[in-house]
Amino acid sequence: MRKQMRRISRGDEEADINLTPMLDVVFIMLIFFIVTATFIKQAGIDVTRPDAMTSEQKPTVAVLVAIGPTGDIWIDKKRVDPSSVRSHIEKLHSENPKGGLVVQADRSSTNEKLMAVLNAARAAGMRQVAISTENN
């Protein structure tokens, strides 16, 4: 009878499951998904974009600039003074040099503001510049 009791107690010790390797795998997967996740860029305001017949999707966007109907410029959810647009674009472009710039200009905004943003992007060294439109 004593032999049976010893076997039962020895079996309980061997039945423990080591969770450390599983937790290591879970943390490695979590880090992988955080590093590879793409975050949605938002300019800060909603604009009514103009219609276009020949539009195409841009896969890599580093900087998103919005021009409101009154001509105010928004970058990274903040209203930006037109004179400091270039410095904001340079800072965001240095964080992701492979991405391009997309300008979301409202239909009722002026070409003057759009040209100011495009000139600032060119002065900041960005060569991939696009204007966001609605698909027709």
Q: What is the pLDDT of residues 14-44, one digit of tens each?
A: 667 888 889 999 999 999 888 877 666 667 7
The number of folded domains in the chain is: 2
* 102 Cβ contact partners less than 8 Å away, ≥ 6 residues apart: 58, 61, 63, 64, 65, 129, 130, 131, 132
Global pTM value: 0.63
pLDDT tens, position by position, 1-21? 555 555 555 555 566 788 888
Structure tokens at 116: 């100011």
52 sits in which H/E element: strand 51-52
For residues 91 and 58, membership in a common domain is answered with yes
* Residue 62 within any structural domain of the chain: yes
**Is position 45 within any domain?**
no
Domain around 96: 51-135
Residues 110 and 62 occupy one common structural domain: yes
Q: Is residue 44 part of a domain?
A: no
Do residue 83 and residue 25 come from a single domain? no
